[in-house]
Structure 1
Amino acid sequence: MRTERKLTRLDRVFARLDREPERPAHIDVPRMTRHRIVLFASTLAFYVAIVWAVVITSWLVRLDWQVMFFRPYQQWAEIHAFVDYYVVLGQRGPTAVMVAAWLGWRSWRQHTLRPLLALGVSLLLLNVTVGAAKLGMGRLGPHYATSIGSNEMWLGGDIFPSGHTANAVVTWGILAYLASTPRARRWLSALSAVTSLGVGLSTVYLGTHWLSDVLLGWAAGLLILLALPWFEPLIARSEAWIFDLRDRWRERRAGTVAVPAAPVEAPVLLKPRPTPADNEAAARDTSTAARDTSAAARSARGAPAYMAPGPHTARAERTPVTPAGSRRPPHTDRMTRGGSPTARPLTGG
């Protein structure tokens, strides 16, 4: 016997997830198809080409300097306030919170943790790959440039590739990656591409990034989205491990509130229905038992309880009981029975 405990908010969330243990049939998991492999290889080649063009200080670096000297924030100063707000769509903190809230609702409705786990894996890959590239190449930004026309590489900076652009590609592109229908995936892919390119151009407008930074950041984010199908088995194993951990935690918590079990009563055996012959035999047995009981009771009432059992003696063998005296008061005027009458004196003449 166990006492019922009050469900917590976490229990209600997992209870919602347990209502449908299988993922809905209309939601397919993207696979690493040949088309996706070709796109991944093409994007990786574009990534390497951008890095090589910056390293050798090619025409791309000269274009970076020309855009910086153009000073877009002075040419179109009237949109400066809008761009300051729009660039927030590429900041990791606010965008991750917004997208995680949406995917959390999706997880609730679809009874699976896959959307949240996919977002976590993509952000982890983003931090590792983009962060390593930033620190490894160490490029300085436009505001900290030291020599005109140089590539500003390996000088301790952290600007190449653009983190805002890569974060916008991954954060908003994950919505397209997790879309339920092909039509929704196409529309969300186009929307995320436009949003991420707009965020990248906003950083160029504000003068915080080179144009080549934006191109490399866009390629870095796209590589992460294209490589996510390779991590789907890891996501599935992580989801199963989380649910298994939940089950063990729930069993351990339920064991702490258990009370001693009540003793189990012996099972009651059902007797067959008695027949008329059985009823008559039972009635005879009952009457015989009643007569024996009444006879025993009468015999118990007839014998005094204080007399000890012993052998009977004849009347002649018993000791005669002589009364100590008569209970009647003495009468002097009466004669004793069997005696001679006493002479009375004569009086008179």
Structure 2
Amino acid sequence: MINIPIDSINQIRNLLEKAKSVLIVTGTKPDMDAISATLSLYLALSSTGKQVTVASPSQITVEFNRLVGVDKIIQTVNGSTGKNLIISFPYQEGSIEKVSYNIDNNIFNLVIEPREGYKLITPDDIKYSHSGGVTDVIFAINTSKLPDLENIYSENQTLFNSSPVINIDTSPENTQYGKVNIIETNMSSTSELIISLFSQLGINLDQDISSNLLAGIIYGSKNFTSPKTNAATFESAAICLRNGAKKINETIVNIPLTNSIPQTQDKQPKPVQFSVPFSKTSKPLSFKPQGKQTFNQFPPKNKAVPFSPKPNQVQQQSQQQNDKSAQTPSDWLKPKIYKGSTLL
């Protein structure tokens, strides 16, 4: 885990203490980490008795169906809970002459006067909707910029401009648009960041929250193989497991959990094909030498002839021995006594 700046923690704590209604949003095409972090925050804040709405502009696919609370995600925040009534109908440039209202017997009448020559507005053309529900604080998860929220932002810009936004993300492309910005680009997942936030806010983890966060950590860290994976990543995963997290491997898609090595299959030797058809009456094949085999034989060894030196060689050898004896001193073999004037 990391230590989020204490100023940011105090701001979030003060906002949550005053808030009764909370909106949690995540951007378009969210991944497992974004949905896991979003739902974990939803479960944690809902347990405190607050009215929490969670939304994403993208349709939630089946890969997230094992996350707890996934059925609570909506695609638009326009609904009966909004306080602003919106009256919509097809419009052509220059077709409206004047818009006014009057009150008659406590009835509010909105008067739309079309310009001459243009089609009249019929009841079938009119649609009603609501927007701008009361929201005390907004959490934006894994959303680099507000337009990434698509219709959630475009249809509720007044809401986003009037409500404090807490921006939580790990992307270096985040534009720091929130009143409180918690951006940690060195973390492998936003789910880790949520664990640090819960720890410093004193929010306890239950089994459902822990299971969601563990799924986000596994996905964000690419099964703990991402270069951003460090000791804090394993520590966050351990916290989830200690709080009863269940592994939701079925929801972790596009991540190889093990490195598979292709195994070589032992090839069975093919039987030898003979050109002669084989049958029970066939005689076994045999190989016979053709013709008489001859080998080269070594010639017989000659008998050794005794060596006898010639007379001249004997005379030369005896003369050499006499010369050596004449040169050798007679006392050569006698012991010698050294005489000198100094002693060593």
Fold match by TM threshold 0.5: no
Q: Where is the strand percentage greater, Structure 1 or Structure 2?
A: 2
Larger radius of gyration: 1
After TM superposition, the score normalised by the length of structure 1 is 0.18
Which structure has more helix as a fraction of its residues?
A: 1
Instruction: With a CA cutoff of 8 Å and minimum separation of 6, indicate the structure with the bigger relative contact order.
Output: 1
Tell me the TM-score normalized by structure 2: 0.18
